């Protein structure tokens, strides 16, 4: 009886380890070059601009903030809860959470995959995941995403200078 248990345990361990090894081998490593926060590449001219450059796009004065940032969206369960600035969260409004930007800051968030953008207002702190830069409301996220089933995307963040 004890031998059967040991054989079953060994078989389970081997199966488990082979599954883990297979999953790890399927992960794609990122080979993209890093762009530092103090510069941003202007796609039209190919020039590298200093971060304090302000340029105009459709009448908006924009200041580059971060390129290749990871953005996700709020779960529906947060609707109606208080945000860090004291307002009530609504997943149907154009709002976002950021770790450092001041409350009330308006930013232009552009999906790097398809060029769609949305303008949102910072009303909350977060996201509390180390690899993510921005949590968008569901409406803002769905307006610019390529795939409605996606939960995260790479974006370019620009602050709007008043």
Nearest to 96 by CA among 67, 116, 125: 125
Residues whose CB falls within 8 Å of the CB of residue 36, separated by 6 or more in sequence, listed in order: none
Which residue did the predictor score with more confidence, 47 or 67?
Answer: 67
Which domains occur in the chain, in start order? 39-161 (2.40.40.10)
Q: Rounded to whole angstroms, how far apart are CA atoms 83 and 120?
A: 15
pLDDT of 159 > 80? The answer is: yes
Encode pLDDT of 105-158 as tens digits: 999 999 999 999 999 999 999 999 999 999 999 999 999 998 888 889 999 999
Q: What pLDDT, on a 0 to 100 scale, did the predictor assign at position 162?
A: 79
d(CA 108, CA 90): 19
Which helix (H) or strand (E) is 151 found in, with range?
none
Which pTM does this prediction carry?
Answer: 0.66
Q: What digits encode the pLDDT tens for the residues 60-100?
A: 899 999 999 999 999 899 999 999 999 999 999 999 999 99
Quick one: 73 exposed, middle or buried, by C-beta within 10 A (0-12, 13-18, 19+)? buried
Instruction: Please report the pLDDT score of residue 34 as a whole number.
Output: 40
Task: Please say whether the beta carbons of 103 and 122 come within 8 A.
Answer: yes
53 vs 87, residue with greater confidence: 87
Q: What is the largest CA-CA distance in the chain?
A: 79
């Amino acid at each position: 009886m004890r031998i059967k248990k040991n054989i079953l345990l060994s078989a389970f361990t081997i199966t488990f380890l082979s599954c883990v090894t297979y999953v790890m081998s399927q992960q794609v490593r990122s080979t993209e070059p890093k762009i530092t926060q103090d510069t941003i590449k202007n796609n039209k001219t190919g020039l590298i601009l200093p971060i304090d450059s302000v340029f105009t796009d459709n009448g908006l004065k924009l200041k580059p903030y971060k390129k290749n940032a990871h953005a996700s969206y709020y779960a529906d369960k947060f609707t109606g809860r208080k945000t860090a600035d004291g307002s009530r969260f609504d997943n149907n409004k154009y709002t976002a959470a950021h770790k450092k930007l001041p409350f009330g800051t308006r930013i232009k968030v552009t999906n790097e995959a398809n060029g769609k953008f949305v303008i949102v207002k910072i009303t909350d702190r977060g996201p509390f995941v180390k690899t993510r830069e921005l949590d968008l409301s569901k409406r803002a996220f769905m307006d610019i995403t390529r795939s409605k089933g996606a939960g995260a995307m790479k974006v370019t963040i620009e602050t709007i200078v008043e």
